Amino acid sequence: MGARIREIPAKLPKNFDRPDEPWYHHLTIDLIWKVLGYTVFHPWVAWVIVLCLRAQVTPYQSLEMQIAIVWAFLTTGRAIFGIINAKLAYGNAREVDLSEEVIVITGGVGGLGALIAEVYGMRNANVAVLDTKKVDLEEAEEKGVVYYECDVGDAQQVDEAVKEIVEDLGPPTILINNAGIVHTQSILDSTAEEVRQTFRTNTFSHFNTLRSCLPHMLNEGRGTIVTVSSVLGHLGAANLSSYTSSKAALLALHSSLRAELAQHPNGEDIKTILVTPGQMSTKMFAGVRTPSNFLAPVIAPVDIAKEVIGLIEKGESGDVAVPLYSRYIQILGVLPLGVQVLIRKWSGIDTAMAKAGLMKADKTALNEKR
């Protein structure tokens, strides 16, 4: 008999915690856009329509044939432009073999980080999680993940943890900077310590892990770095000033990182992924209501994880921005200020914390990891 297969208990992630919601709750602009992408806007479908018209002996001079041909060329041109644009922006993909990769995830005990860590753990990848929360050895073995108790805001602790990872698993080649906390106070109610703690965890931790892990990637000549920011980094929001500011800093940091890697002789095969999600169904913003489930749906962590894991394993750089509005939210900044004010009022972005009852009068933090 062969070796007994190790059983790994797994809880499948739920897309929604409210199973009794009506069917139209799941009808969103993101779903419609995805369906259109595989049908009306897909080059293959467009050329099939042309072939079907020809099969009916439709003359080339007819209006419907001319419209179909023009549309087929437009969709094909759009697809080719997208491929060329991605090549110019991110270069060629690198080869990824999970058996030869060492994955480091910050804030990987809960939320999005935990989901990604457990997926790779079940696939027998080398996964190291840095988090301040303790995990039992038995639970860690069941998940196939190695946990290191570490405050990622402390540079010395990160250096020591990475040294242990190199000894235990090997040099890190995939870094997922995911750790994050939020303080829901106004600027006047916040304290210097709260602001410092937010930036320490949300922003400074990225510098700490990059300084410790990036040299190993450069020596290996390969790697992938994932920066988890937020759509609020583009927008800002009342009563979330320290959180949104810390996430906005990550947008600039990631751009600088890409520019520096492009200039480094060993940086060609180090890929970068920027994640700017909208509201996720995690404990961090539980209770916050979206202004429109159709235009701005709440995203399950599994939807973000699938896209991040997909890019990592393809060996590609890229941006993960879901739902759809987060991909184009920067357009808001070029609109007239009056229009911006109206959109912010309609969206309720500046009143969401108060309405959700998440304002902390006692100035305690929602320390749930993203």
Read off the tokens for 365. Answer: 């933090």
| Average pLDDT value over all residues in the chain | 89
pLDDT value for 364 = 43
- Tally the domains of the chain: 2
In whole angstroms, give the CA distance from residue 202 to residue 199. Answer: 5
Residues 72 and 103 in one domain: no
Q: 170: closest CA among 257, 272, 98?
A: 98
Within a domain: residue 9? no
Q: What is the pLDDT of residues 7-42, one digit of tens each?
A: 555 555 554 445 567 777 788 999 999 999 999 999
Instruction: Please work out, in degrees rounded to the nearest 5, the angle formed at the alpha carbon of residue 88 by the alpha carbons of 29 and 271.
Output: 80
pLDDT value for 1 = 43
Q: Which residue has the tokens 């995939």?
A: 174
In whole angstroms, give the CA distance from residue 149 to residue 190. Answer: 28
Residues 44 and 123 in one domain: no
**% of the chain beyond a pLDDT of 70:** 90
Q: How confident is the model at residue 352 (pLDDT cuts 50, 70, 90)?
A: confident
Out of 108-122, 142-156, 285-299, 349-363, pick the least confident: 349-363
Residues 58 and 109 in one domain: no
Residues 198 and 338 in one domain: yes
Residue-wise DSSP of 32-53: HHHHHHHTTT-HHHHHHHHHHH
CATH number at residue 296: 3.40.50.720
Over 50: is that where the pLDDT of 367 sits? no
Task: Give Rg (Cα) of the chain.
Answer: 23
Among 37, 59, 90, residue at a domain's last position: 90
pLDDT value for 290 = 79
pLDDT value for 6 = 53
Read off the tokens for 227. Answer: 């920066």
Residues 63 and 127 in one domain: no
Q: How confident is the model at residue 61 (pLDDT cuts 50, 70, 90)?
A: very high
Beta bridge partner(s), residue 126: 102
> In 173-314, where does DSSP find H-type helix?
192-199, 205-220, 232-235, 241-263, 301-314
pLDDT value for 281 = 82
pLDDT value for 357 = 66
Residues 48 and 168 in one domain: no
* DSSP 8-class letter at 345: H
Within a domain: residue 6? no
Helix (H) or strand (E) holding 175: strand 174-177
Over 60: is that where the pLDDT of 323 sits? yes
Within a domain: residue 1? no
pTM for this structure? Answer: 0.88
End-to-end CA distance of the chain: 44
Within a domain: residue 70? yes
Q: Which residue has the tokens 């439709």?
A: 58
Over 80: is that where the pLDDT of 370 sits? no
Q: What does the pLDDT average to over 346-367?
A: 65
pLDDT value for 294 = 87
Q: What contacts 57, CB < 8 A, 6 or more positions away?
A: none
Residues 320 and 252 in one domain: yes
Residues 84 and 122 in one domain: no
Q: What contacts 111, CB < 8 A, 6 or more positions away?
A: 178, 280, 282, 283, 284, 301, 368, 369, 370
In whole angstroms, give the CA distance from residue 71 to residue 65. Answer: 10
Q: What is the pLDDT of residues 180-209, one digit of tens each?
A: 999 888 899 999 999 999 999 999 999 999
Over 70: is that where the pLDDT of 363 sits? no
Q: What does the pLDDT average to over 86-96?
A: 93
Q: What does the pLDDT average to over 144-153?
A: 95
Among 70, 90, 110, residue at a domain's last position: 90
Within a domain: residue 16? no
Q: What does the pLDDT average to over 346-354?
A: 83
Q: What contacts 175, CB < 8 A, 6 or more positions away?
A: 104, 209, 210, 213, 214, 217, 223, 224, 225, 226
**% of the chain beyond a pLDDT of 90:** 72
pLDDT value for 20 = 61
Residues 54 and 169 in one domain: no
Among 67, 90, 113, residue at a domain's last position: 90
Q: What does the pLDDT average to over 361-369?
A: 43
Best-predicted range by mean pLDDT (3-12, 76-85, 338-347): 76-85
Over 90: is that where the pLDDT of 159 sits? yes
Residues 283 and 198 in one domain: yes
Residues 142 and 37 in one domain: no
pLDDT value for 361 = 47
Q: What is the pLDDT of residues 241-264, one digit of tens each?
A: 999 999 999 999 999 999 999 999
Over 70: is that where the pLDDT of 3 sits? no
Q: Which residue has the higher pLDDT, 3 or 222?
A: 222
Domain coverage including residue 45 = 27-90
Strands laid side by side in the 318-320 sheet:
146-149, 126-131, 102-106, 174-177, 223-228, 270-275, 318-320
Residues 299 and 315 in one domain: yes
